[in-house]
Structure 1
Amino acid sequence: MSEGSDPSSADSSPDESRTDAEPSESASERDAGPDDGVPERNAESPQPSPALPFVGAFLTVVVAGLHLLHPSHGLLKLFVILNADPGLLVFDPRSFAFVASGIALLVGLSLSRNAPNRRPYYLAGIALALTYLVGYFAWHFTGHGGFLPGREPLLHGLSPVENVVSHLTTDVWAAVSKATEIALVAVLTVLYRRESSESDR
């Protein structure tokens, strides 16, 4: 061994090369992370809108109010009929149907606020809104309830389809009511499906 050579330098060089390689190796492991290559479900899955239940509640109140406060068949009209002759409801039950269904909507909305399972309330709201829609078109398509006993069809000289279109285009209250009912059915259907999917997880 020649003079000036340091034995420890030969022994320490492999260790130094190993220590130099170790930080790069650990850094790559830190960069990789345990979750690399695994898609995050929470990040990719769409989050439900928290505002949708409030939209459904708002539409429910609007639909109920449109029927309770209807200028021709709402609460005031029902009081007039009951004071005059309740038997008149047999020939035109719209006032009773409007008031009873409007109250039912508000009661169902109040009960659903703290209900552990809101799906029955969603279904009831959907069924009631569809009843409004079907009932309106059936009433005007048959000439103002021509299917009821003691009522003659009244189509104003129009075909059944023309009669329905005429009422929708000339009665703003009815047009707003039908549009709101369709929106309510759509929102409650989305809420029902969302709660059903969450309960199945």
Structure 2
Amino acid sequence: MNVRAFDPLHVVAAHLVVLVAVLHLALGVSNWLTYLSAGIVFPPDLRWPLFVVSGLALVGGLLAAVAGADRRPLYVGGVALMVVYVVGYFAWHASGHRPLFFVGPGTHHGGSTLASLGAHVVAGPVETLALASETALAGLLAYFLYRE
């Protein structure tokens, strides 16, 4: 394989896929294991199993792309998943951290929703890194889709 044949943007995108997948798999597995250790197979907070499934989907998509699969559907799926991550993050916080997304009791931080969402962009290093990586990856994948 000729290393010079790689498009540098594809290499950056692959690294972003790995980063986003690792973040979601780490959060999903560690939090889901907390419930599993208590004997709860299906946790009341559905984010953790969904993080595991979506993280595995990212890894599968990357492996398929490297193996030579048609990339257009992979780009579309990747953009869609990144949009779900980013919109879901803000929707979950706007809903008041409801464990079943928009069902069940929630808590609000007080103040305006817009100010609260803005504060969540920089809520911590993991959140900021995840949002920046997901947004950058969505942009790159959309660019690849447009270019092809």
Identity of aligned residues (%): 37
State the secondary structure of the residue aligned to 2:122.
helix
Match of 2:94 among 124, 141, 145: 141
Q: Does residue 69 in structure 1 map to residue 50 in structure 2?
A: no
**CA distance 1:154–1:82, change in 2 (3 Å):** same
* Corresponding letter in the other structure for 1:61: V
| Alpha-carbon contact 1:143-1:160 (below 8 Å) kept | no
* Corresponding letter in the other structure for 1:137: F
Asked which structure has the greater RCO (Cα within 8 Å, sep 6+), the reply is 2
Moved segments of 4+, more than 6 Å: none
Supply the RMSD in Å over aligned alpha carbons: 1.8
- The aligned counterpart of 2:3 is none
Return the alpha-carbon distance in structure 1 between the equivalents of residues 10 and 134 of structure 2: 16
Q: Does residue 80 in structure 1 map to residue 34 in structure 2?
A: yes
| Alpha-carbon contact 1:52-1:191 (below 8 Å) kept | no
Structure 1 gap segments, 5+ residues each: 1-48, 196-201
Shift of 1:191: 1.1
Please give the residue correspondences for 1:1-80 in structure 2 after superposition, counting only pairs within 5 Å: 50-70=7-27, 74-80=28-34
* Corresponding letter in the other structure for 1:184: L
Structure 2 gap segments, 5+ residues each: 1-5
State the secondary structure of the residue aligned to 2:21.
helix
| Alpha-carbon contact 2:121-2:128 (below 8 Å) kept | yes
Larger Rg: 1
- The aligned counterpart of 1:103 is 56
Shift of 1:116: 4.6
- The aligned counterpart of 1:10 is none
Shift of 1:86: 2.5
Number of residue equivalences: 141
TM-score, normalised with respect to structure 1: 0.65
TM-score, normalised with respect to structure 2: 0.86
Return the alpha-carbon distance in structure 2 between the equivalents of residues 112 and 50 of structure 1: 13
